[in-house]
Amino acid sequence: MAEMMYWEAIVRAHDEEMANDPMVICMGEDIGVVGGTYKATSGLYDKYGETRVIDTPISENGYTGLGIGASFLGVRPIIEIMSVNFAWLAMDQIFNTAAKVRYMSGGQLQAPVVIRSPGGTAHQLGSQHSARMEKVFMGVAGLRVVTPSSPRQAYGLLKSAVRCNDPVFINEHELMYNMKGEVPDDEYFHPLEGSEVVREGRDVTLFGYNISVHWCLQAAAELSKHHGIEAEVIDLYALSPLDREGIRNSVSKTHRAVIVEEAEPAVGVGAEVMAIINEECFFELDAAPVRVSALHVPIPYNHALEKAALPNANDVVTAVRGIFGV
């Protein structure tokens, strides 16, 4: 197993899928000659040329729609939207066309596009470059939503997403492109559904996804070391559909749940996981589930304010201590 960075894992997935199938293309702003703002497509332009590695104009709704239209004919576009904030501009095509065309055509057409975009907050990027939009995508029928927390997942989820016949939104993270991790040397396809137990524990389940998995792991280590609490950490890499069985199994074991999300709490992953817990295993609970979320504010520019608006590993520790009264 080789160590590679998150962005390198994404390049490798592109490269293998483009080599495997001449109908796989990638497109987006600055992805070709420049190689991508986060280097996630670097080297591909020289290898596959400008008809398959397409530098698009800054027209998010237009080029996303173009990719969707091409996918009707069997093209497999991997569309990069440079920042998830810009994906708002492409919502018409993603929601009104990609997500609905199979259904409203009675199964005749499909839109097997992959839309990759970094969500999350980085450092002082201000309100319009700090959106966390996974909650928006996961609320729409007809779309799959996955979000990699490691280079291994970034590689394997993209590989499966390209081959899958559904439209898949991959929610990446601006702060994670330089994260290092082990990726299998052999070709690897990560499931697009399910969840992963990344730390086993018996006392409480910490649900995270993408960057918040890492806050959960830090908090679990702290809770074990200083408070004797063994937390189980579940990585919800699939946000739509969510893994009801995985959620039920873990909560039935630990009887306590904390959901950790970088986004605002309203209508979010935490709210949805809580609803699933209620529906699946309410009587297994020994305490009310808790969510650790951002504040319900646009993200401020000032760094101290920005930090105050966002959750972190300490907030997770505090939430768990609150449940146990320690």
Catalytic residues: 60, 129
Asked whether position 107 contacts other proteins by CB under 8 A, the answer is: yes
Contact 115, 81 (CB under 8 A): yes
The packing angle between helices 211-227 and 313-324, to 10°, is 50
- Cα–Cα dist 305/228, whole Å: 33
- Looking at the Cβ atoms of 51 and 225, the one nearer to other proteins is 51
Q: How far is CA 196 from CA 68, 191, 300, in A?
A: 31, 10, 33
Interface with other proteins includes 244 (CB under 8 A)?
no
Alpha-carbon gap, residue 204 to 215, rounded angstroms: 15
21 binds other proteins (CB under 8 A): no
For the chain, state the CA radius of gyration: 20
Give me the residue label for tokens 């239209």. 69
- State which residue, 64 or 205, has the beta carbon closest to other proteins: 64
- Round to whole Å and give the CA distance between 145 and 263: 16
Binding other proteins (rule: CB under 8 A), the pick from 118, 120, 156, 181 is 156
Q: In angstroms, what is the minimal distance from the CB of 291 to other proteins?
A: 28
DSSP 40-61: TTTTHHHHH-TTTEEEPPS-HH
Helix (H, G, I), strand (E, B) or coil at 322: helix
Reference 294, options 132, 150, 127, 83; nearest CA is 132
Nearer to other proteins, 192 or 269 (CB): 192
Count the site residues for other proteins by CB under 8 A: 53
Near other proteins in 46-105, by CB under 8 A: 51, 54, 56-57, 59, 61-75, 92-93, 96-97, 101-105
Min CB(156)–other proteins separation in Å = 7
Least Cβ distance, residue 215 to other proteins (angstroms):
27
Q: CB 13 → other proteins: shortest distance, Å?
A: 13
- Does 166 engage in binding with other proteins (CB under 8 A)? yes
Site string for other proteins, 188-217 (x = CB under 8 A): -xxxxxx-----------------------
Residue 149 interacting with other proteins (CB under 8 A): no
What separation in angstroms does the CA of 112 have from each of 9, 68, 274, 283? 21, 8, 31, 40
- Decide whether 64 or 195 has the Cβ nearer to other proteins: 64
Q: Which positions lie near other proteins, rule CB under 8 A? A: 22-23, 25, 51, 54, 56-57, 59, 61-75, 92-93, 96-97, 101-110, 141-142, 144, 156, 160-161, 163-166, 189-194
